[in-house]
Amino acid sequence: NRLDPESQTFKPYRHDPGDDRSISSDRVLAVYQDRYNVLWIGTENGGLNRFDPVTDSFLHYRNEPGNINSLSSDAAWNITEGKDGSLWVATMGGGLNRWYLADRKAGREIFHKYQKAQGLQSNTIYAVLEDREGFLWLSSNRGLSRLDPSDGSLSNYDRFNGLKGDEFNAGAYLKTRAGQLYFGSVEGVLTFSPELLTKNQHPPDIVLSVRSREKLLASVSSNDTRVPEKLVFAYDDDYIDFSFTALDFASPHMNQYRYILKGFDKDWNTVRKQRSVTYTNLPAGQYVFKVKASNNDGVWNETGAALPFSVKPAPWLSPGAFVIYALLLGGLIYSYKKAQDRKQQLVQQYSAKLEAQVEDRTQELYERNQQLNHLNEMLKEMSVTDSLTGLKNRRYLYEFIEPRVAAVNRRVEDTQKDRVVSGKIDITPSIFFVMIDLDGFKPINDAYGHAAGDQVLMQVRDVLRASCRDSDVIIRWGGDEFLVVGENNNIHAAERLAERIRRNLAEFQYQVGEGHTVTLSGSIGFSMYPFSVHGKADQMSWEQVIAIADDAAYTAKKNGRNAWVGVYGTRKSSWEDFASANVDLVSLAARGHILLTTSLVSLSEAVEAKQQKKLQKPAV
């Protein structure tokens, strides 16, 4: 809407599919006026819009598949202008976009991207704030990042740097006149003054080790004053492994390394997580392996650590070998037959030796690869697991849900004609999302302490595992909230699961130590993807379905707790019904915008009462 100050009236602007000069979407997420008084509008699924007050119309800037210069995503969540005039557009799934002032003035639609490939922790950016020094601070669903626009360098901050959590919220950001920055997260509000943040100025010490054939040959440190003894490798030492580590533990996963083998590599190699390198079959010569390292804030130990070594030539390439060759040549002239026999014998022995070495090395490489694969699987599992309960976390959901949603979409397309039979709801194939919000957990923490609260959460985990099917996925959503994701096999599967969880949570006696027991219950809400059997599978995203399940859990808590509420879509359903801050599910059910099932008799009666009132209302 646009307000006319003189007449005090609003003029609405709506998306018109038949008018390509109308606003690209009705879902407006951001409005920003730049230094030239140009008004920019960010939308959820229509990209970036520029308002032209002369023609009272809009220009669209959207993602174009195959065009690397276009906007990276159509979900433009936040817009801001930097000190140099660059327009910064934060997106969902597309990272951060930069539109230089010179390109904007010239009408060149060239958006420069900053994504995970450039060092961001996530491609979902919620907000952008510029501090007094011109640095950009980005909030995301995986921590906070600082971008230096002058060179594109990035510094990432997460819970290992002092943040209470890595998940921030969209639209929750503020910069005060004093330069103080505020960001809202699921763990509360983060506030700080960027100029007061201290940088880790300590160049890390480096430890460098070298092995061959699984044997440690030498180990040096960057702070050693002595010159390391030069190593000598034989020609058949064809497997040389260097391992190195930076002794800085502020955020060790952000340490970086550069290494070079002088005499072999042409330039430095930069790595982050890799802390070892292997060279095989080095030719004879003189070498120096050198490694440098930085701490989590990019301060490098430029001196580094180094190990000099040499590789001897094979015996048949040494000067003495050539003398022997000359003698053998003379012997061949003297006794050709005898020399041929001897030569054949030597060749057979050497071939057998090489074959044995190849088999040994092949087995070594196989075993090492198996070890590395095992370690990688362990690290991957840790990254998607809640450290307290051992359940899956939110990050696992993002990796696990997309293939299941895609499979459901395909099955829905195959069965679309048979999904409504005789007025009955057929919700298969579909995925249910069950949100559980514990009732009475905070008083337990207050009365018995956080250690007892942690003990209760692990018992809740056991109750949920006993209540759910083996195929269901249980996720700790955060704090005292849990999410269960599973596939429907019939219309009542989610309802039976919700009731089973509600009953088991309420009946369980939770141990809090020293012989004390407590009870608690759960307010449960669930919904389905696809949301409505009458519309397209992607009528609402799975993220929006989770938000509806959360609204249902809140409704159960608001109407008495220890209950469940389920929400199904109808032909009238749309996301706008749930976009407001206070969603009234009873009213939506009474108007036929949703179908509501619940264990609360009072809630069902409230829906019926509103429906009866609507039917009894006299026609005008």
Counting the structural domains of the chain, the total is 4
CATH of the domain at 260: 2.60.40.10
Question: Could you tell me if 142 and 286 lie in one domain?
Answer: no
Q: From 291, 313, 335, give the residue that closes a domain.
A: 313
Higher local confidence (pLDDT), 416 or 276: 276
464-469-475 Cα angle (round to 5): 50
Of residues 593, 607, 533, the one with CA closest to residue 565: 607
Six-digit token pair at 135? 């640095």
> Is position 158 annotated as part of the catalytic site?
no
What are the tens digits of pLDDT across the range 459-469? Answer: 999 999 999 99
Question: Could you tell me if 427 and 325 lie in one domain?
Answer: no
Query: CA 433 to CA 543: how far, in whole Å?
Result: 10
Mean pLDDT for all residues in the chain: 89
Candidates 237, 480, 551, 577; catalytic one: 480
What average pLDDT does range 503-512 have in this prediction? 95
pLDDT of residue 617: 61
Backbone φ, ψ for residue 38 (5° rounding): -80, 135
Question: Could you tell me if 464 and 595 lie in one domain?
Answer: yes
Residue type at 415 in one-letter notation: T
With a cut of 50, say whether residue 403 has pLDDT above it: yes
Of residues 113, 200, 189, the one with CA closest to residue 155: 200
68-77-69 Cα angle (round to 5): 10
pLDDT of residue 50: 97
Residue 384 lies in a domain: no
pLDDT tier for residue 534 given thresholds of 50, 70 and 90: low
Residue 386 lies in a domain: no
With a cut of 50, say whether residue 423 has pLDDT above it: no
Question: Could you tell me if 181 and 220 lie in one domain?
Answer: no
With a cut of 60, say whether residue 425 has pLDDT above it: no
Helix boundaries (H) for 187-334: 319-334
Question: Could you tell me if 190 and 60 lie in one domain?
Answer: yes
What are the tens digits of pLDDT across the range 142-153? Answer: 999 999 999 988
Q: Which run of H or of E encompasses 467?
A: helix 450-467
Q: Decide: 125 and 78 in contact? Cβ < 8 Å.
A: yes
Beta strands 521-529; 431-439: pairing state: antiparallel
pLDDT of residue 427: 55
Residue 201 lies in a domain: no
Report percent pLDDT > 90 for the chain: 56
What average pLDDT does range 412-440 have in this prediction? 71
Question: Could you tell me if 238 and 355 lie in one domain?
Answer: no
Higher local confidence (pLDDT), 551 or 117: 551
Question: Could you tell me if 87 and 168 lie in one domain?
Answer: yes
pLDDT tier for residue 571 given thresholds of 50, 70 and 90: confident
pLDDT of residue 54: 92
pLDDT of residue 364: 84
Residue entry with tokens 């209302």? 617
pLDDT of residue 424: 47
Residue 224 lies in a domain: yes
Q: Decide: 549 and 526 in contact? Cβ < 8 Å.
A: yes
What average pLDDT does range 515-527 have in this prediction? 94
What average pLDDT does range 230-242 have in this prediction? 88
Question: Could you tell me if 186 and 55 lie in one domain?
Answer: yes
Six-digit token pair at 228? 């390391």
pLDDT of residue 579: 83
What average pLDDT does range 424-441 have in this prediction? 81
CATH of the domain at 6: 2.130.10.10
Residue ranges making up the domain that contains 118: 2-196
Q: From 142, 177, 196, give the residue that closes a domain.
A: 196
Question: Could you tell me if 189 and 282 lie in one domain?
Answer: no
Q: From 196, 223, 242, give the residue that closes a domain.
A: 196
What average pLDDT does range 249-258 have in this prediction? 81
pLDDT of residue 384: 86
Among 171-185, 227-241, 366-380, the range of highest mean pLDDT = 171-185
Question: Could you tell me if 300 and 354 lie in one domain?
Answer: no
Q: Give pTM, 2 decimals.
A: 0.45
Question: Could you tell me if 217 and 167 lie in one domain?
Answer: no
Residue 493 lies in a domain: yes
Residue 578 lies in a domain: yes
Query: CA 538 to CA 435: how far, in whole Å?
Result: 21
Question: Could you tell me if 188 and 331 lie in one domain?
Answer: no
Query: CA 433 to CA 496: how far, in whole Å?
Result: 13
What average pLDDT does range 21-48 have in this prediction? 95
pLDDT tier for residue 386 given thresholds of 50, 70 and 90: very high
CATH of the domain at 422: 3.30.70.270
Six-digit token pair at 72? 């990276």
Show Cβ contacts of residue 338 under 8 Å, excluding neighbours closer than 6 positions: 331
- Weakest-pLDDT range from 69-83, 149-163, 206-220, 407-421: 407-421
What are the tens digits of pLDDT across the range 442-483? Answer: 999 999 999 999 999 999 999 999 999 999 999 999 899 999
What are the tens digits of pLDDT across the range 313-367? Answer: 888 877 777 888 888 888 888 888 788 888 888 888 888 888 888 888 888 888 8
Six-digit token pair at 511? 């141990």
Residue 388 lies in a domain: no
Residue 227 lies in a domain: yes
Distance of CA 442 to the CA centre of its chain: 29
With a cut of 60, say whether residue 426 has pLDDT above it: no
Show Cβ contacts of residue 61 under 8 Å, excluding neighbours closer than 6 positions: 47, 48, 49, 50, 70, 71, 109, 111
